[in-house]
Structure 1
């Protein structure tokens, strides 16, 4: 079913929010060329969308996950990744970091960041942080502007 979106609060282009977000997306968005595996990056984006919860981003990144070849079953239970054996140790580590950064849990954040070093090099860690930060920017922008799906 086709879905369109409607702003119910404000147009972010009035103060160039989209321009700022698009600049970040060019470097770490879902079409960017990253050293981090594209499927992992997409799982991180989708997890941020679930946590915030942004309807626009959930729809966009669920489709992007499928386009990346991530199994429907894996996408369907991403929110319960801790109870799953479908996620690799590296994915689990990155998802824990994603959650600690998104919800910013100061008690857990440093340990989550440190645990990334057992699976990723410094560049990949920086990309993972940027992916999560960029998605938090987008989800909060879409929530603030009141972008809601409208069934056609």
Structure 2
């Protein structure tokens, strides 16, 4: 894929750069363009990677639900990089990739349970301005997930909001990780402008 980033990639160098390149090549088969973009400010990159690892270590929310929530947020915002990355990571973690690929059109898909739908509805509602989470939806998810699970869901979606909006602002788009490992294409989104942006690879 040709470069779309608004900031040219820097050379990923030095000891930390070697570590990052080895780790990302092991995981993705290449060094993502986004790493070169963020390399201009290594402290931001390190902090983002560190917090991302902490988010990934949380365990009070089912891993599949966490993936669907993050991907629904990414689709709602229009971050093709995040959506593709979430699908790729679902495959890597041995999660339900069949459902993961359906997230862009979850409202029209018959694959999801009522709890999964509420989780993705909550993720989308958090991404709206102003935030559109209702008392009724929160109460239902509190019953579904428990207090700790709902707090984690909220924090994960908040992290995805920051990541997705930053990627879009910087022009970081999908690098087709899922395609590179032989996954079926993500399901075609329906309806919204954000979904259309994801479908076009914007």
TM class by smaller structure: 0.7 to 0.9
Structure with bigger gyration radius: 2
Q: How big is each residue's C-alpha offset from its partner over 1:54-112, in whole Å with a ceiling of 9 and x where there is no partner?
A: 23212211111122334443223212222233212211111111110012454543332
Q: 1:12 to 1:113 in 2, by over 3 A?
A: farther
Partner of 1:52: 77
Q: Shift of the alpha carbon at 1:12? A: 6.6
Q: Secondary structure at the match of 2:145?
A: coil
Matches within 5 A, 1:88-127: 88-127=113-152
Distance in 1 separating the partners of 2:132 and 2:171: 32
Tell which deviates more after alignment, 88-97 or 125-134.
88-97
Distance in 2 separating the partners of 1:106 and 1:149: 26
Q: TM-score, normalised by structure 1?
A: 0.78
Unaligned runs of 5+ in 1: none
Q: Shift of the alpha carbon at 1:28? A: 1.7
Q: 1:40 to 1:108 in 2, by over 3 A?
A: closer
Partner of 1:145: 170
Q: Verify: 1:87 aligned to 2:123, yes or no.
A: no
| Structure with more contact order per residue of length (Cα contacts < 8 Å, sep ≥ 6) | 1
Unaligned runs of 5+ in 2: 1-27, 181-202
Alpha-carbon contact 1:101-1:109 (below 8 Å) kept: no
What is the root-mean-square deviation of aligned Cα atoms in Å? 2.9
Give the number of equivalent residue pairs. 148
Alpha-carbon contact 1:17-1:141 (below 8 Å) kept: no
Higher percent of residues as strand: 1
Distance in 2 separating the partners of 1:43 and 1:150: 20
Distance in 2 separating the partners of 1:100 and 1:12: 32
